[in-house]
Each structure stands twice: as structure tokens, then as C-alpha cells.
A and B are shown apart, each in its own frame.
Chain A
Amino acid sequence: MASFPFSHGMVLAAALFAIGLAGVMARRNLIFVLMSIEIMLNAAGLAFIVAASRWQQPDGQVMFLFILAVAAAEVAVGLALALRIYQSLRTLDLDAINTMRG
């Protein structure tokens, strides 16, 4: 057990979220964009856990479990889409997917 100020944990979560956001905006490779989204979701989970610990309530951990489920579903669909896109376009370039039709 260790305790540290609540604001430090929230600052860390904000910094991790910003790193993931920069990755989403800067990368063109679909795999790395999905990884950056994972970092952002993880930062949101960290904020929930820090808040749960600050107020000593289990609700934050419940929200973390929901974030985990959302991340798992998102990754499953996102990676399946990445494989399909690579099969049909032979590239993972996000800018190349604007040729997609309904």
C-alpha cells in the first residue's frame, strides 16, 4: 500500500491521455492508431481507479471493468476491420480508406 496525492494520479492520467491523442492524430498506420486508442482508454481507466481510491468507493473500479469490456470489443472489431482493409487495399494507410464505398 502506498498513498500519494489525488492530483498526482489525475495529472498522470491526463498526460497519458494526451500522449494517446497525439498518437491518434499523428499516425497514419491503422494498427498504431488502435494502439493509441488503447492508451487513451487506459488513461480513462486510471482516472477512474484513482478516483475510486480517493473516495474509497468501489464504483470507480466497476467503471474500469466497463472500460475493459469496451476496449476488448473495440479491439476485436478494429483488428478484424484492419485485416479486411489490408486484404482489399494492400495497405494500412488510413488516408487510403476514403475510396471505401458502402
Chain B
Amino acid sequence: MLNNFCFWFAALVALGASVLAVSRRNAVHGLLWLVLSLLAVAVLFFMLGAPFAAALEVIVYAGAIMVLFLFAVMMLHLGPAAQRQEAQWLAPGVWIAPGLLALGLAADLIAIARLAGDAPAGAGIIPPEAVGAALFGPYVIGVELASVLLLAGVVAAYHLGQRRDRSLGEGAGSG
């Protein structure tokens, strides 16, 4: 019973925090709800016997990526004017069509997921050693591709992040 309580509690926190994260007007409030949602999902990862994934979820998602978001929001420094703009954009009617479409998709996915049966998940721990052995065994090409992807991300972020005050060659390769 305690197991079920833990699952439902974490699941409800994740769902509620996600709903609040996508519906706030203030970007910082939305980010904080998103951090809560990610932490709740990390709890689920622990319960599912994936301690390595849970630690990465906390460190990389709730830590690094959210701090990146926070820095971007701070650099944009959106003031009260931005919130008035958001209030104007977020009239309640805006949510009707996307909400219905997302509900339809969710109903579809949930109907499929319920076919999956009641085999237990989280029966045992998958140790990080096994994950590492798989990562650098059969999936080593994926690791190389991920490193290329991250390098491309770094180069693109550097290029886009440059100030172009003396923009003689806007878009010139040297940047």
C-alpha cells in the first residue's frame, strides 16, 4: 500500500506541476513548477530501480537545464509589461482547441497504454554498471553521435550568442 501511495503521490505532483508550469504568466514561476515536476519524475525513476537516471534527472534536467532557462529569463529581464502581454495572450479561450486536441491524443495513448497489461514495473534495480556496459558496448555509436550533437549545439549557441554590434557581415561565417 505504501508503494502505491508513493507512486500516486509522485504522479499527481508531476501532473499538477506540469499543468501549472505550462499555464503560468510569469516565466520564473513556470520554471519553478517545471523544476518540481522534474523532481517528482526523478522520484519515480528511483522507485523504478533506475538510480543513475534519477540522479541525472536531478543534476542535468532540474539542475543544469533549468539554470540555463533561468539565466535566459534573467537576461531577457521581462518586467510587468511582459506579464500584461501574457495575460492578453492567455485568454481562457486560447486553451480550448489545444486542450481538446491534447485530450484526444492523451485518451488515445492511454487506451493503448492500458493494453500493456499489469506486469509489475520496478521489480528490481538496474545497476549503473549495466547501463554503462550497454552504453559503451552495443550503443557506442550512439555515444559518438550524441557527442557530435552536443558539439554542434555548443557551436550554434556560441555563434547565435555573439553580439553583432559592428555587424558588417551579418551572417558571415566568421561571426
Interfacial residues, chain A to chain B (CB-CB below 8 A): 1-23, 25-29, 31-32, 34-36, 38-39, 42, 45-46, 49-50, 52-54, 56-59, 61-62, 64-66, 68-77, 79-84, 86, 92-93
With contacts A53-B122, A68-B61, A75-B68 taken as known, whether A84 is within 8 angstroms of B113 at the C-beta atoms is: no
A47 CB to closest chain B CB (Å) equals 9
Contact B49 A62 (CB under 8 A): no
The reply to whether A83 and B123 form a contact with Cβ atoms under 8 Å apart is no
Residues of chain B whose beta carbon lies under 8 Å from any beta carbon of chain A: 2-4, 6-7, 11, 14-15, 18-19, 21-23, 27, 30-31, 34, 37-38, 41, 44-45, 47-50, 52-53, 56-57, 60-61, 64-65, 68-69, 72-73, 75-76, 78, 82, 86, 89-90, 94-95, 97-99, 101-103, 105-106, 109-110, 112-126, 130-131, 133-135, 139, 142, 146, 149-150, 152-154, 156-157, 160-161
- Contacts A14-B109, A46-B41: A80 and B160 contacting too (C-beta < 8 A)? yes
Q: Is the CB of B31 within 8 A of A35?
A: yes
Known A-B contacts A69-B149, A77-B157; A12 and B15 likewise in contact (beta carbons under 8 Å):
yes
Once the chains bind, are B76 and A83 in contact (CB under 8 Å)?
yes
Are the C-beta atoms of B118 and A12 separated by less than 8 Å?
Answer: no
Total residue contacts A-B, CB cutoff 8 A: 255
Residues on A with C-beta less than 8 A from B68 are 75-76, 79
Q: Is the CB of A4 within 8 A of B89?
A: no
What is the bound-complex CA distance between A61 and B50, given in angstroms?
Answer: 8
For the complex, what is the distance from the CA of A5 to the CA of B122, rounded to whole Å?
A: 9
Nearest A residue to B88 via CB reads: A28
CA of A19 to CA of B124, assembled, Å: 30
Is the beta-carbon distance between B73 and A21 smaller than 8 angstroms? no
How many angstroms from the CA of A32 to the CA of B86 in the assembled complex? 11
Give B56's nearest chain A residue, CB to CB.
A68
The list of the 9 closest CB pairs from A to B, nearest first, reads A23-B22, A73-B153, A18-B106, A14-B109, A25-B98, A10-B113, A2-B3, A80-B160, A22-B102
Residues of B within 8 A of A2 (CB): 2-3, 6-7, 47, 122
11 A-B pairs (CB sep. < 8 Å): A6-B119, A7-B117, A9-B44, A21-B101, A22-B98, A26-B94, A27-B89, A49-B48, A61-B53, A77-B157, A83-B76
